[in-house]
């Protein structure tokens, strides 16, 4: 399987206060991004300013005096959550040090999951610490990604964490680790939105769709086929396929909207997405038990036309 490839996280800067402030934000241009393979940690667990990790273990950062804002991006399998135990914390407020935890990912002020797709408010998801204000001993994310942001301008300061991953009994939002695979999204009969983020250009094949059809009172329904008009008295249950060059689906172009039931099609609905970021998003009113299974893989060059490019 191909190594996980993610967006390049490079030059960082931030302006913040020690009360609940704006996010420490990555300031880089998505249009200039080149994909990089996941960084490796040293044998003793030391990491650099920007690090991506998907393997459990101990991680440590010791400042070399850089004033940049740094990020430890954590990712598990789509059906997992991230568990972070803080073992050491040496961040001095008086020297300008700060560390923040985010339930999700952030880049250039864009959030994943977006504020529309998360059950918690931003104030509940994002917390900053320094000095005697220390992180909780254990931090658990709501989905398979989490972020530790930090700025430590005083040499020798730092932190140590133990990162682990555990099963999510009802996975909803997720970032896919690889550029090909098959995933299933469910709402479990709940009123919530679920988003799968794939940070690659992709072609999406809808293998099994049951959205806005099956309810708790009518668990068995005849297949209706797929349609693009999906509003109902509850506001609508539907699948959106989007792409763009940012992290937040709200800033992306909608390539298609679907609802209905179809699992037997010989020619499943297909979408070609040529931007850096591909998204499948399921919106649920809570009236129906929605599920969608889709296959994704890199598009062939000849399949991407001018209208698919970003």
Between 9 and 228, where is the model more confident? 228
Q: What is the pLDDT of residue 230?
A: 81
Task: List Cα–Cα distances, 294 to 28, 44, 139, 208, 217, in angstroms.
Answer: 31, 40, 31, 7, 26
Q: For the residues 260-268, what does the mean pLDDT come to?
A: 79
Q: What is the DSSP string of 132-159?
A: TB---SEEE-SSSEEEEEEE--STT-EE
Residue 219 CB neighbours (<10 A): 8
* pLDDT confidence bin for 226, thresholds 50/70/90: confident
Q: What is the pLDDT of residue 308?
A: 62
> Is 34 buried (19+), middle (13-18) or exposed (0-12) by CB count in 10 A?
exposed
Q: Is the pLDDT of residue 295 over 90?
A: yes
Distance between CA atoms of residues 99 and 24, nearest Å:
9
* pLDDT confidence bin for 301, thresholds 50/70/90: confident
Give the 3-state secondary structure of residue 30.
Answer: helix
Q: For the residues 230-247, what does the mean pLDDT come to?
A: 81
Q: What is the pLDDT of residue 182?
A: 96
Q: Is the pLDDT of residue 137 over 50?
A: yes
Question: 1-49 pLDDT, tens per residue?
Answer: 333 333 322 222 232 222 233 555 544 333 333 333 345 566 678 999 9
Instruction: Tell me if 117 sits within 8 A of 195, measured CB to CB.
Output: yes
Distance between CA atoms of residues 187 and 286, nearest Å:
8
Instruction: Tell me if 110 sits within 8 A of 247, measured CB to CB.
Output: yes
Between 82 and 41, where is the model more confident? 82
What pTM, to 2 d.p., does this model score?
Answer: 0.85
* pLDDT confidence bin for 216, thresholds 50/70/90: confident
Kindly report the average pLDDT of the chain as a whole number: 83
CB contact set of 224 (below 8 Å; sequence gap of 6+):
213, 260, 261, 262
Distance between CA atoms of residues 24 and 109, nearest Å:
8
Choose the most confident range, by mean pLDDT, from 99-113, 156-170, 210-224, 259-273: 156-170
Question: 53-74 pLDDT, tens per residue?
Answer: 999 999 999 999 999 999 999 9
């Amino acid at each position: 399987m191909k190594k996980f490839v993610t967006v390049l996280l490079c030059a960082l800067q931030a302006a913040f206060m020690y009360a609940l402030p704006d996010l420490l934000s990555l300031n880089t241009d998505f249009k200039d991004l080149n994909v990089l393979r996941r960084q490796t940690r040293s044998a003793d667990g030391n990491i650099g300013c920007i690090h991506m990790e998907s393997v459990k273990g101990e991680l440590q950062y010791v400042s070399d005096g850089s004033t940049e804002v740094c990020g430890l991006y954590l990712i598990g399998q789509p059906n997992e959550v991230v568990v972070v135990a803080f073992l050491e914390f040496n961040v001095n407020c008086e020297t300008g040090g700060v560390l923040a935890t985010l339930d999700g990912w952030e880049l250039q002020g864009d959030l994943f999951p977006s504020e529309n797709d998360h059950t918690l408010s931003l104030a509940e998801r994002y917390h900053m610490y320094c000095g005697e204000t220390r992180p909780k001993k254990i931090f658990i994310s709501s989905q398979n990604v989490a972020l530790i942001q930090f700025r430590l301008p005083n040499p020798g300061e730092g932190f140590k964490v133990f990162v682990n991953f555990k099963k999510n009994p009802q996975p909803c939002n997720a970032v896919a680790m690889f550029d090909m695979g098959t995933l299933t999204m469910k709402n479990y009969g709940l009123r919530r939105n679920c988003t799968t983020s794939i940070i690659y250009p992709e072609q999406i094949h809808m293998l099994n769709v049951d959205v806005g059809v099956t309810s708790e009172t009518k668990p068995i329904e005849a297949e209706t086929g797929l349609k693009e008009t999906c509003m109902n008295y509850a506001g609508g249950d539907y699948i959106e396929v989007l792409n763009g060059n940012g992290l937040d689906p709200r800033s992306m172009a909608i390539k298609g909207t679907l609802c209905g039931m179809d699992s037997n099609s010989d020619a499943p609905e297909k979408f070609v997405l040529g931007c850096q970021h591909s998204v499948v998003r399921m919106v649920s009113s809570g009236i129906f038990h929605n599920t969608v299974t889709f296959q994704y893989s890199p598009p062939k060059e000849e399949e991407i036309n001018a209208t698919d490019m970003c």
